[in-house]
A and B are shown apart, each in its own frame.
Chain A
Amino acid sequence: MHISDGILEPKWILFWFVISAIFISLGLRIINKRIAADPAYLPRISLIGAVVFVISVWHIPVPVTGSSSHPVGTPLAAIIIGPFATVVISAIALFFQAFVGHGGLTTIGANTFSMGIVGTFSGYLVYRLLKNISPLWFSAGMAGFVGSILTYLTTALELALSLNPGNVMHYWKLYAMGFIPTQLPLCIAEFAFTGYVIKYISETKPEVVAPADVCLDRFTKTALGLMILITSLLAIGAYIGYLGGGNMAGTDSTVEALAAPGAISNGIGVRLMARIGEPIGFGSVGIIGGLITGYFWSVARRKS
């Protein structure tokens, strides 16, 4: 499910563009390093990206409904070319798809986030977790299933955040429920499809199914780790405050008391947060904070 132009509000368009740009630049960094070490990687990744694009627009039979639809394809690509390279490939694929009516130009960021980042990383994580304890076809199939279902749940969340900011949880459920009749059978189809394809490749050309870009450098590892840690801490803090009855009072009180005791009540930070909204504000703070901390942490460790 691709979000078309004209649906998302401008601030959310910008937000998803920024998040996706971070992952795309990390992906490009990894691809450039691989090309420097092995120049044949450039045509390899491009051709496999082209094939996965072609396959993802083929219609696959969908059980229960008896109809057919096209798979997400990003979990499959992540297993073959690695998750970071898949983010870059999916952003390019979404650009091409926008011109045939799937998605849009202003929503490339949002669609890259749901398909290329959430779908890819969740699928790849499931594949890596299950690979050693279950048959290859099953771990690949589960990657397809989880990647596909999380892509739709993220799309539903993106719609709810932008269209109904006053009642996000209710509308998230509503949009997700709306997608279920068509998307749940499709997720089952994606399970079978990804499982069969990986099984076929592993039997005919096993070297294709190899982790391609999991060897992250220290900066990327630290930055990503801290990004997730800081965002999680902010989210937990906000949620605890929410449970306590306040509107995200958990992080508000902590920031006021510890981080900015002398902050002016109508200062630029407060006004900016009021303007862009707390979910976007806190999310951005976590992600940017994690990246900056990760960078300086890496520099400090290298010096010591």
Chain B
Amino acid sequence: MTDSRIKILISFLLITAITVMKHWYLPISISLLCIVLAAKLKVIRDYGKKLRFPLVLALFIFVTQGFTYGVNAVNLGIVSVYSEGIEYGFLIFSRVFASASILLLLVITTSENELLESMRYFGVPKTMLEISSFMARYIKTFSSEGKKLKLAQKSRCGFPKNAGFKKKMHSLASISGALITRAFARSEEVYRAMLSRGWKQDLRYSIDCHPLNKRDLILGIILSSGIFVLLGLDRLVW
């Protein structure tokens, strides 16, 4: 099992490398590789669903660039597109596809706690980490609580099918407001629980992290070098 710190570092380096690539060949190849990996990990459905959001924006940029950017117009009958715009738009599209694929595969293969733990290693401020840990813990709690509130309101005719915008919004806002006031009240209980477990203000996260083992370190160096080779290929070969 690879150390999550190496996974995050390599993913970040690879995404940055993709961002500076000048040709679409490598990003598209990386995207295809990610699709194969997602299929192998049996997460293709989840992967495809999450990929929808970035691809919509990438498509919007592709269309905008294609129709407006450049000087060499290509007549398609009813409309004209620009070859430079199509080329640039497709490059952006391929970069988004590859970057989002890498990020999604990272999160599929790494737990939330591992990610937060790694952030400590990368020097993220302690207060931010403490807030992040609380948020990660309570997002799930409030999400399920919100679902219960919605269900309860639905059973009390809060969301009838024929309800107008105003009624629907009023119902949803009541649930949201209730959830916020609950969070406010619960934070007092959480604070009391923290105190009862010996929490003190100066008792924060330890800054010591276990060192990377030799195997992970070598893997990290090899993969980082591979990323630089890919960049070299993009710049020099094509």
A-side residues, CB < 8 A to B, are 1-10, 13, 24, 28, 31-32, 35-36, 39-40, 42-55, 58, 60-61, 63, 80, 88-89, 91-93, 95-96, 98-102, 104-106, 159, 163-164, 171, 174-175, 178, 189, 192-193, 195-201, 204-205, 208
Report the Cα distance A13→B52, complex, angstroms: 23
CB distance A6 to B169 under 8 Å? no
> A50 — which chain B residues lie within 8 A by C-beta?
134-135, 137-139, 141-142, 183
Report the Cα distance A192→B107, complex, angstroms: 35
CB distance A4 to B173 under 8 Å? no
CB distance B201 to A46 under 8 Å? no
Q: Which of A3, A51, A163, A196 contacts B169 (CB 8 A)?
A: A196
CB distance B96 to A5 under 8 Å? yes
B217 → A minimal CB distance (Å): 22
CB distance A201 to B190 under 8 Å? no
CB distance A48 to B131 under 8 Å? no
> A171 — which chain B residues lie within 8 A by C-beta?
64, 68
Report the Cα distance A46→B130, complex, angstroms: 8
Interface string of B173-184 (1 = CB under 8 A from A): 110111111111
Could you pull out 20 A-B pairs where Cβ atoms are within 8 angstroms? A3-B57, A5-B15, A5-B18, A6-B97, A28-B125, A46-B130, A46-B134, A50-B138, A58-B176, A61-B165, A88-B131, A101-B51, A101-B100, A104-B15, A104-B54, A105-B103, A178-B64, A189-B169, A193-B172, A197-B180
B189 → A minimal CB distance (Å): 9
Apart from the given pairs A10-B16, A43-B134, A50-B138, 7 other A-B contacts in the complex at a CB distance below 8 Å: A28-B128, A42-B127, A54-B143, A58-B176, A88-B127, A100-B50, A164-B69
B-side residues, CB < 8 A to A, are 11-12, 15-16, 18-20, 27, 49-54, 57-58, 60-61, 64-65, 68-69, 88, 92, 94-100, 103-104, 106-107, 115, 125, 127-128, 130-132, 134-139, 141-143, 146, 165-166, 168-170, 172-174, 176-188, 190-191, 194, 201
Q: Which of A7, A45, A61, A63 contacts B58 (CB 8 A)?
A: A7
A188 → B minimal CB distance (Å): 9
Report the Cα distance A101→B51, complex, angstroms: 6
CB distance A54 to B139 under 8 Å? yes
A35 → B minimal CB distance (Å): 7
Among all A-B residue pairs, the 8 with the closest Cβ atoms: A6-B95, A196-B173, A200-B177, A46-B134, A5-B99, A101-B50, A4-B54, A50-B138
**Closest chain B residue, CB of each to CB of A93:** B135
Q: Which of A63, A95, A200 contacts B173 (CB 8 A)?
A: A200
CB distance A43 to B146 under 8 Å? no
Report the Cα distance A91→B130, complex, angstroms: 14
CB distance A159 to B61 under 8 Å? yes
> A49 — which chain B residues lie within 8 A by C-beta?
131, 134-135
Report the Cα distance A180→B136, complex, angstroms: 33
**Closest chain A residue, CB of each to CB of B98:** A6
**Closest chain A residue, CB of each to CB of B55:** A4
CB distance B184 to A4 under 8 Å? no
B24 → A minimal CB distance (Å): 11
> B103 — which chain A residues lie within 8 A by C-beta?
5, 98-99, 101, 104-105
CB distance A48 to B187 under 8 Å? yes
CB distance A193 to B169 under 8 Å? yes
CB distance B65 to A163 under 8 Å? yes
CB distance A163 to B53 under 8 Å? no
> B146 — which chain A residues lie within 8 A by C-beta?
54-55, 58
Report the Cα distance A80→B118, complex, angstroms: 31
Q: Which of A10, A43, A102 contacts B187 (CB 8 A)?
A: A43
Q: Which of A44, A101, A164, A192 contacts B104 (CB 8 A)?
A: A101
> A205 — which chain B residues lie within 8 A by C-beta?
181, 184-185
Report the Cα distance A205→B143, complex, angstroms: 21
CB distance B92 to A6 under 8 Å? yes
Report the Cα distance A197→B194, complex, angstroms: 29
**Closest chain A residue, CB of each to CB of B180:** A51
B172 → A minimal CB distance (Å): 6
**Closest chain B residue, CB of each to CB of A175:** B64
**Closest chain A residue, CB of each to CB of B170:** A196
CB distance B15 to A6 under 8 Å? yes
CB distance B166 to A192 under 8 Å? yes
Given known contacts A99-B103, A106-B19, A164-B69, is B57 in contact with A7 (CB within 8 Å)? yes
CB distance B172 to A58 under 8 Å? yes
Report the Cα distance A189→B176, complex, angstroms: 14
CB distance A35 to B127 under 8 Å? yes
> A163 — which chain B residues lie within 8 A by C-beta?
61, 65, 88, 92
Q: Which of B100, B130, B131 contacts A104 (CB 8 A)?
A: B100
> A32 — which chain B residues lie within 8 A by C-beta?
127
> B51 — which chain A residues lie within 8 A by C-beta?
101
**Closest chain B residue, CB of each to CB of A24:** B128
Report the Cα distance A145→B234, complex, angstroms: 44
CB distance B179 to A92 under 8 Å? no
Report the Cα distance A195→B185, complex, angstroms: 22
